[in-house]
Structure 1
């Protein structure tokens, strides 16, 4: 016989087990942490995709991310040989101690990424079929984490396999 003080724990455990069983893997998938990416120790290239801290992505990393979230903490990375949505083609730091405001940050991020585009692709942005976007610091990350990093992201109209470096299109 079960002691009355353990009865609520058993009841709750049985209810959770029943919900997980009835709802399938999607609930468990949402609870469990996503696997982190793994990198080649010599080249640093991603060999197995996974969840990567947005502060740990590097030039040359490929992302399978078409998210429209306003703020990110991690992004899904993949090897560049696999189909992907985005590739990090440049990064740079913004200047300043005080938060300059959203408009200034995005304007400077846009200008910096545009300036790096031709060097990576091989032709000016205005002549290219490719597009770019960027990750930029938020006011919170600027002030609390001393985040000044802008990551420039290149993409095509459809998922790409392989790097877009030197694509000249």
Structure 2
């Protein structure tokens, strides 16, 4: 007597293990860490114990997840190495193009050109300066910023007293450094100090600048540290 088709339950060996597929998909995505490795290991264990298909999926998931894990570790080491190398005292690159900045924003080590000739140590009358040009210290420049300090006065001192405080403060803070420079005899101290208007806006800074002692002469190198 002929038999009809068998619609009974299929054998477990005909089914693809669900965890094997999950391991493969997880490995492809690469954003679940070791999850793909874990799923792959479990699926291989189940296939070995109960039979079924999907061994290739499980192994591929483990390999792919391992690849992403190793790649992540390597990338992290490279990034950490790059960050640590940037923590050292690396000198800032020498400026090659003049950069105009607010006179109140000069920093120690800046080499400047000032078209108003305000750094002239022999000037008898003050000159208001709004901005200066920051230039390379290896190119001709009017002066190099050697110190910046704040005045402690509660109110704006008279002009003569203000200039005296600026001059005295700069000499105290920079005299030793200027003496160390090989060209000490040809250097002089100059300074910038608050104006009436800048004082009202909170400016209390005096900026000390080393300049050439002879009027009209420019510096051509950075000062010796």
- Indicate the TM-score class for this superposition, using the shorter chain for normalisation: 0.5 to 0.7
Unpaired stretches in structure 1, ≥5 consecutive residues: 1-41
CA contact (8 A) 1:83 1:159 kept: yes
Deviations 1:10-59 (A, max 9, x none): xxxxxxxxxxxxxxxxxxxxxxxxxxxxxxxx645661312111111101
| TM-score, with structure 2 as normaliser | 0.49
Other structure's SS at 1:55 match:
helix
Partner of 2:47: none
Unpaired stretches in structure 2, ≥5 consecutive residues: 1-89, 119-126
Question: Could you tell me which of 156, 165, 168 is aligned with 1:99?
Answer: 156
User: By percentage of residues, which structure has more strand?
Assistant: 1
Give the Cα separation in 2 of the matches to 1:45 and 1:93. Answer: 28
Higher RCO by CA contacts (8 Å cutoff, separation 6 or greater): 1
Partner of 2:109: 60
Question: Could you tell me which of 119, 122, 126 is aligned with 2:176?
Answer: 119
User: By percentage of residues, which structure has more helix?
Assistant: 2
Question: Could you tell me which of 102, 123, 140 is aligned with 1:83?
Answer: 140
How far did residue 87 of structure 1 move?
A: 0.6
CA contact (8 A) 1:46 1:61 kept: no
Provide the alpha-carbon RMSD of the alignment.
2.3
Q: Does 1:155 align with 2:205?
A: no
Give the Cα separation in 2 of the matches to 1:138 and 1:88. Answer: 19
Q: Which runs of 4+ in 1 moved over 6 A?
A: none
Give matches, 1:1-169, under 5 Å: 43=91, 47=95, 48-68=97-117, 70-123=127-180, 128-143=185-200, 145-156=201-212, 157=214, 158-166=217-225
User: How many aligned residue pairs are there?
Assistant: 122
CA contact (8 A) 2:108 2:148 kept: yes
Give the Cα separation in 1 of the matches to 2:139 and 2:101. Answer: 16
How far did residue 131 of structure 1 move?
A: 0.9
